[in-house]
Amino acid sequence: MTREGTGRPSREAALARYCADRLSLWCLCGRASCVRARSCCGDVAMCSGLALAWLAALQEQEDLAPSFAAMEARIESPQEMRLYRQWRDLLARAQAHAKTPPAETAMLRDKLRRQIEVLVRQQDLDRSS
């Protein structure tokens, strides 16, 4: 991943490190040197892999969340319905205070996943050449 004869990182490696720093992948890494530097100081491909695993876990958690329609189908009494509606109102108020709308969050998460996949592919190509 260095330019032949120069000892300097290749353009692709420098770009991967820049992207890792812009995405703050050092937060996922946990290496003391990365945390102190608040920048990626180690293997960018490893941190990219951690980020992909993290995003996959977030997606899995989102997929496991029960749907409101399924919850409503299980309501049997007027008291349960009243409590359910109160809970939904509280949930709606809490979401109104959230800074990023869910659709935008999903879009940003997908964009981040694609960027990280590109970084991982570039690292794999660099290693194989």
3-state secondary structure of 111: helix
Quickly count: other Cβ atoms within 10 Å of residue 28's Cβ: 17
pLDDT at 1: 46
The DSSP letter of residue 75 is -
Amino acid letter for position 7: G
Closest CA to 3 of 44, 14, 45, 64: 14
pLDDT at 2: 46
Give per-residue burial for 66-83: e unless 16+ CB within 10 Å, then b: eeeeeeeeeeeeeeeeee
pLDDT at 98: 64
The answer to pTM > 0.75 is no
Q: Where are the domains of the chain?
A: 11-128
pLDDT at 3: 45
User: pLDDT tens digit string along 39-55?
Assistant: 888 888 787 777 788 78
Q: Which of 6-15, 69-78, 93-102, 106-115 ranks highest by mean pLDDT?
A: 69-78
Residues 72-78 have a mean pLDDT of 84
Distances (CA, A) of 52 to 57, 71, 94, 99, 115: 9, 31, 28, 24, 10
The DSSP letter of residue 65 is S
Q: How confident is the model at residue 6 (pLDDT cuts 50, 70, 90)?
A: low
User: pLDDT tens digit string along 79-125?
Assistant: 888 888 888 888 777 776 666 667 777 777 777 777 777 777 777 78
Share of the chain above pLDDT 70, in %: 85
Q: Is 95 or 6 the better-scoring residue by pLDDT?
A: 95
